[in-house]
Amino acid sequence: MKSAHRKAIIGKIIVYILLIVIAAIMITPFLWMFSAAIKSDREVFKMNPFVFIPEVPKWSNYVDIWTKIPFAKFVENTFFLTIVVTILQLVTSSFAAYSFSKLEFRHRNGLFLAYIATIAMPWQVYMVPQFILMRKMGLNDKLLAIICLQAFSAFGVFLMKQFYEGIPNDLCEAARIDGMSEYKIYSTIMLPLSKPALATLIIFTFVNTWNDYLGPLIYLKTQEKKTIQLGLKMFISQYSSDYGLIMAGSMLSLIPVLIVFLCFQNYFVEGVASTGLKG
Amino acid sequence: MIETSKSVQIEELQSALEETIARARSEQNDRVKKKLIQQISRYNSSIDKLRNGRKISRQTKRDLIAYSFIAPNFIGFCVFTLIPIVFAFALAFMKWDGSNPISFEGFNNFKRLSGDTFFKAALKNTIIYCIGTVPLTMIASLALAIILNQKVIGRGIFRTLAFFPYVASLVAITSVWKLLFHPSKGPINNILYTIFHVSQENLPQWFSGGLCVVSMILFSVWKYMGYYMVIYLAGLQSIPGELYEAASLDGAGTWDQFKYITWPQLSSTTFFVVVMLTINCFKIYDVAVMLAGGGSGELTVSATVLVYYIYQKAFIDWDLGYSSAVAMVLFLMVLIVTIIQFRGQARKEA
């Protein structure tokens, strides 16, 4: 009995050591980023001794980044895109998903098949014809192009549909007997019930749009239209040795995602798990 | 005269409707209930018809309501996804620079691919990257999930930490990685030099030559393992605890429990993780460009990947047909993996 007990304790210790090592690997780059963001370019790589916070922290890096490049404009563009795309995605996907999961109508399966058929199709395969099409529509170099690109994904419809299917049909049918219109059922019954799915979709869409690089790279050409990711990359290639400034800009670009993620993370984990198992 | 008979008819229907509604409310059997509800809607539509002599049938009205829900998403989806996809298939057999007239090329684009060394390098690198990233990420995320599935203090914090690289923007974290792994000044090489006494000329050049792909693999494992860990965690939590209790009563050790319970019980999760990972690896672009790209993001033969070549051929050389042919190769690889997934699932269910 005693040896078993000892074994359990040793096991626990090993688990904790592993956890700490993994946590260190995960977080070191972020800590290093934070530290380098307040150092001068000469201090960034100084190793012996390594200081986490320099004697004279160069907080001015966080100020200078706003004047070296039009960082405020980039932030504004990215916020605008992310918020519009997220709202559109939420509204249109939950709308369509309600219809696919709770209504019976002609051509339902056929229409849904169109969504299914594209789920395994990487965007990179059709990004070129999509660009040609958008250029024809006069959307080249317009923020609207990114909105059109991101807002109508099949993924959102799938996620919401999967969730709605878990809500009993009786609820809707009882409401129908009471004479409620479908729009009313959607807005007063389904929408409030689907908060976890909506939260998951918010984070997925927010993170994707905020961090997207290739989409904006293809469409947004003028400086004033660029997003944070493009602007940051541009800054890195222009001032490749201004390490402190690069790190400060990177830190700033992480903050909104960090906030959204921490707010909704429990839903997110749930959402990932559920899309994962059924996917 | 006609008016009165109509109102009598309506009244009759109305009372029948109310009776059916009452029955539907108290009915427990689902199938009967459904029938009653259909009945109700039939009554409703006949009443409607009598009242205002409407031509639109109940069914059409229902269809229209359903379509109104779908339309906002479906129209956008059609225009910006379905049409471009059809266009992409056609374009692979064409020659077009985006402004001059299109000409039909047949299989010429694909013939050109077979002699294109840059394309072959891109394909090779993409596949090597997949072969490296998929098993490593899978093992790392499974190990992490198993550890985090134990009762440990601060589980939530560790989970958040492991997940954060996944949501963090690529530009920001690749820029840190480039500094950490900086060939002459970075802390990683500094440690190799001062602690492991690797000589100056043998220090790894992480972002050039053959090591490019290795750096990409290491980075991807670090960035994406948190995501797959969450999927594995869900899988682990669905394994019934009695299995482990029975095993430990029989004296099975930790390794045996993993080998005979955890691993087989997780097989469908593992399958899903591997397929998702493989598809995502094929799509790699920004990791390569950020880690190994030059000032304006250009990639050399040793670091090029398929999506980079699609981008380059289309938006730099404006050789749209050829670019689409490369895209078809990407599609084909993803399709093969997806078919394998469906086969595997079907076999499981059978």
Q: Which pLDDT score, from 0 to 100, does residue A210 have?
A: 92
pLDDT digits (tens, 9 = 90+) for A21-57: 888 888 999 998 998 888 888 887 877 777 788 888 8
From the CA of B1, how many Å to the nearest CA of chain A?
31
A185 in reach of chain B (CB within 8 A): no
From chain B residues 105-164, the ones with a CB under 8 A of any chain A CB are 144, 147-148, 150, 152, 158-164
Q: Tell me the C-alpha distance between B334 and A276, whole Å.
A: 18
Domains of chain A: 2-59 (no CATH), 61-278 (1.10.3720.10)
For A13, which residue in chain B has the nearest alpha carbon?
A: B152
Chain B CB contacts of A19 below 8 Å: 147-148, 152, 158
**Is the minimum CB–CB distance between B271 and chain A shorter than 8 Å?**
no
- Identify the pLDDT of residue B57: 75
Long-range contacts of A69-74 (CB under 8 A, 24+ apart): A69/A231, A69/A234, A69/A235, A69/A249, A70/A223, A70/A224, A70/A231, A71/A228, A71/A231, A71/A249, A71/A252, A73/A223, A73/A224, A73/A226, A74/A226, A74/A227, A74/A228, A74/A230, A74/A231, A74/A232
- Please give the class, per CATH, of domain B108-349: mainly alpha
A258 Cβ under 8 Å from any chain B Cβ: yes
Q: Please tell me if residue A4 touches chain B, with a CB cutoff of 8 Å.
A: no
Domain extent listing, chain B:
2-91, 108-349
B339 touches chain A (CB under 8 A): no
Q: What's the whole-number mean pLDDT along residues B191-215?
A: 82
Chain B residues within an 8 Å CB radius of A26: 161-162, 164-165, 222, 226
Tokens representing B203 are: 């220090």
The answer on pLDDT for B192 being more than 60 is: yes
Tell me the chain A residues in contact with residue B69 when contact means C-beta distances shorter than 8 Å.
Answer: 95-96, 98-99, 103, 182, 186
d(CA A47, CA B191): 9
Tell whether B234 lies on the interface with A, counting CB pairs under 8 A. yes
Asked if the model's pLDDT at residue A276 lies above 70, the reply is no
pLDDT confidence of residue B55: 60
Average pLDDT over residues A151-160: 87
* In the predicted structure, residue A272 carries a pLDDT above the cut 70: no
Other C-beta atoms closer than 10 Å to the C-beta of A5 total 9
- Residue B200 binned pLDDT confidence (cut-offs 50, 70, 90): confident
pLDDT, position A278? 41
> Rounded to an integer, what distance in angstroms lies between the CA atom of residue A43 and that of residue A243?
10
Q: Which residues of B touch A111 (CB under 8 A)?
A: 70, 74
Q: Which residue in A111, A184, A191 sits closest to B63, CA to CA?
A: A111
- What is the arithmetic mean of pLDDT over A198-220? 90
Question: How high is the pLDDT of residue A273?
Answer: 65
Q: Is the pLDDT of residue A279 over 60?
A: no
Contact status of A31 with chain B (Cβ, < 8 Å): no
User: Would you call B217 an interface residue with chain A, using a CB distance cutoff of 8 Å?
Assistant: no
| pLDDT tier, B31 (very low <50, low <70, confident <90, very high otherwise) | confident
pLDDT digits 0-9 by tens, B92-101: 998 988 888 8
Q: What is the pLDDT of residue B186?
A: 83
% of chain B with per-residue pLDDT over 70: 96
A45 to chain B, any CB pair closer than 8 A? The answer is yes
pLDDT digits (tens, 9 = 90+) for B325-346: 999 999 999 989 888 877 877 7
How far is B4 from chain A, CA to nearest CA, in Å?
26
Decide if pLDDT at B35 tops 90: no
pLDDT classification of A274: cutoffs 50, 70, 90: low
Helix (H) or strand (E) holding B95: strand B94-95
Query: Best interface-test mutation with A: which of B91, B141, B159, B169 has the largest number of A CBs within 10 A?
Result: B169
CB contact under 8 A, A130 and B84: yes
Q: Which of A44, A62, A43 minimizes the C-alpha distance to A255?
A: A62
**With contact defined as beta carbons under 8 Å apart, do B196 and A241 qualify?**
no
Check CB contact under 8 Å for A253 and B295. Answer: no
Query: What chain A residue is nearest to B341 in terms of C-alpha separation?
Result: A279
Which of A65, A128, A136, A227 to probe by mutation at the B interface, max B CB count within 10 Å? A128
Q: Residue B307: which of A218, A137, A232 has the closest Cα?
A: A218
- Quick: pLDDT tens for B37-92: 888 878 877 777 777 665 667 778 888 889 999 999 999 999 999 999 999 999 99
Test B37 with A176 for CB contact under 8 angstroms.
yes
Between residues B7 and A111, the one the model is more confident about: A111
Partner residue opposite A257 with nearest CB, options B65, B169, B331? B169
Percent of chain B with pLDDT over 90: 32
As a whole number, mean pLDDT of residues B249-255 equals: 83
